[in-house]
Amino acid sequence: MTASASSSVQELREVVRRYRVCWEVWPESIWMQNHSRQIGYQLELYGTHEAGVEHVSPGCPACQRLYAALRVVAEWILPKERRPSTYEIGAFDQALRYSPARRNRPDVTVRIRILHREDFESPVDACEVRCLTEMQERLRELGAQERQWVSEHKR
């Protein structure tokens, strides 16, 4: 699956459900003149292997498929028009992460950095906030859940 027009919302919702996609937002900061300055955001998408995957190890074929699926979701949520902000999707790092927030499940992560297109060191502004908000709304539209996956029967 690619992020082309052929990726329907329904197909993406199925990907989100299959891999139990969650997200968290972190500040993107730099150190300058003896203080930390927030210059953007890092939106992290987390997915775990689908049911039935027995052998899970960093960089395994199942991890690669999971990363590719998360990347399609990441590309779909990005704003399409050119704005004063820019977005960087991180490369596959062949790592599994275990967070207590997601009950220590083995997660593959895709990171999206939301930054200024110019004047990189400027503080966060309304454009970056707007872009982050829109991306979160699109994730919710697909059924992705903030921080941790809550099964349908527990909602």
Cα→Cα distances 88→56, 57, 101, 116, Å: 27, 26, 25, 11
What length is written for the chain? 155
Q: What is the pLDDT along the chain (155 residues), one digit of tens a residue?
A: 444 444 699 999 999 999 999 999 999 999 988 999 999 999 999 999 988 887 778 888 999 999 999 999 999 999 999 999 999 999 999 999 999 999 999 999 999 999 999 998 999 999 999 999 999 999 999 999 999 999 754 54
Under a CB-based contact definition with an 8 Å cutoff, are residues 77 and 89 in contact?
no
**Domain limits, the chain:** 21-144
Pairing of strands 22-32, 145-146: parallel
Q: Which tokens belong to 122?
A: 């400027």
